[in-house]
């Protein structure tokens, strides 16, 4: 069974219908990149996947857990989904190490010692082994985002959601973050990545999904989507993005 199954997903804020009936399946180990104009509902979609937003209608099944089922323990599902935000959202009152160990320790996933050991290993993998005791505010944007990725990975998630992880970064920082994500993909992590980094999408994605106006307009292999866009909507979007 697919890792993520989304059926006829609707989401409205008052009269404003943001998601208008999305259908998507993501398989184990698959990397899906989502592209689309701003305001098309990409963030809203990702937030629905870990219940930060409650859908108005439709069904979401993650690793066999139906989110709309009242009996589903949402905190348990969330432990299996790591999320990385555009603005990092590190906890400013905690050190880098404490940011990473907070959830594992609070949720009794590991002893303090074991959690710190895992955290240091993760910091090594994202190239920040020397920053364990730093406060977030002393880090650059790229470093913050890598800490945020390490923090999400510390819960040992089965799926990772990325919402424009490099959009808030200075250009020279983007590469370090994308490298970490590429490594993760290579290790077989199931990933849904909202991004405007076309290069990354071409290189890493198994599939690219184009969203506009609250609907998935087109989906396919990266080379098909980027080189042979079918809908005028997508052609238009790609023109704009490439010309920037």
Ligand X SMILES: Nc1ncnc2c1ncn2[C@@H]1O[C@H](COP(=O)(O)OP(=O)(O)O)[C@@H](O)[C@H]1O
Q: How many CA atoms lie within 13 A of 155 on its CB side?
A: 23
Q: Is 102 in the site for other proteins (CB under 8 A)?
A: yes
Q: Is 18 in the site for ligand X (CB under 6 A)?
A: yes
Of 9, 22, 42, 83, the one binding ligand X (CB under 6 A) is 42
35-43, 93-101, 130-138, 140-148 -> range binding ligand X (CB under 6 A): 35-43
| Count of residues touching Mg ion (by CB under 5 A) | 1
Q: Which residues pair with 209 in a beta bridge?
A: 34, 219
Of 3, 4, 43, 198, the one binding ligand X (CB under 6 A) is 43
Contacted entry of ligand X, other proteins, Mg ion, none for residue 151, CB cut-off 5 to 8 Å set by kind: other proteins
Q: What is the dihedral of CA 101, 106, 109, 110, to 10 degrees?
A: 60
Contacted entry of other proteins, Mg ion, ligand X, none for residue 13, CB cut-off 5 to 8 Å set by kind: ligand X
Q: Is 83 in the site for ligand X (CB under 6 A)?
A: no
38-46, 108-116, 150-158, 217-225 -> range binding ligand X (CB under 6 A): 38-46
The closest of 126, 189, 194, 205 to 156, measured between CA atoms, is 189
Q: Across 37-148, where does the E strand assignment appear?
A: 57-62, 65-66, 81-84
24 by DSSP, 3-state: which? strand
Q: Is 110 in the site for other proteins (CB under 8 A)?
A: no
State CA 15 to chain mean position distance. Answer: 27
Q: Which residues pair with 193 in a beta bridge?
A: 33, 162
- Which residues form the interface with ligand X (CB under 6 A)? 13, 16, 18, 38-44
- Which residues form the interface with Mg ion (CB under 5 A)? 43
């Amino acid at each position: 069974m697919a890792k993520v199954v989304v059926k006829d997903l609707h989401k409205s804020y008052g009269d404003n219908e943001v998601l208008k009936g999305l259908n998507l399946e993501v398989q184990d180990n698959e990397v899906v990149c989502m592209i689309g104009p701003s305001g098309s509902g990409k963030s809203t979609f990702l937030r629905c996947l870990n219940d930060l937003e409650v859908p108005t209608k439709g069904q979401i099944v993650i690793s066999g857990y139906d989110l709309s089922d009242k009996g589903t323990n949402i905190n348990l599902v969330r432990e299996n989904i790591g999320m990385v935000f555009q603005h990092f959202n590190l906890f400013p009152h905690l050190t880098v190490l404490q940011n990473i160990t907070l959830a594992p320790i609070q949720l009794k996933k590991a002893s303090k010692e074991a959690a710190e050991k895992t955290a240091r290993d993760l910091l090594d993998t994202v190239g920040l082994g020397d920053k364990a005791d730093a406060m977030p505010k002393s880090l650059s944007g790229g470093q913050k985002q890598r800490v945020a990725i390490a923090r999400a990975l510390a819960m040992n998630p089965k799926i990772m959601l990325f919402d424009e992880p490099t959009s808030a970064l200075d250009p020279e920082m983007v590469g370090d973050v994308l490298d970490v994500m590429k490594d993760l993909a290579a290790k077989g992590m199931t990933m849904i990545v909202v991004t405007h980094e076309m290069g990354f999408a071409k290189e890493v994605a198994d599939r690219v999904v184009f969203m506009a106006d609250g609907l998935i307009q087109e989906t396919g292999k990266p080379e098909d989507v980027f080189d042979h866009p079918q809908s005028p909507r997508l052609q238009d979007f790609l023109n704009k993005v490439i010309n920037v």
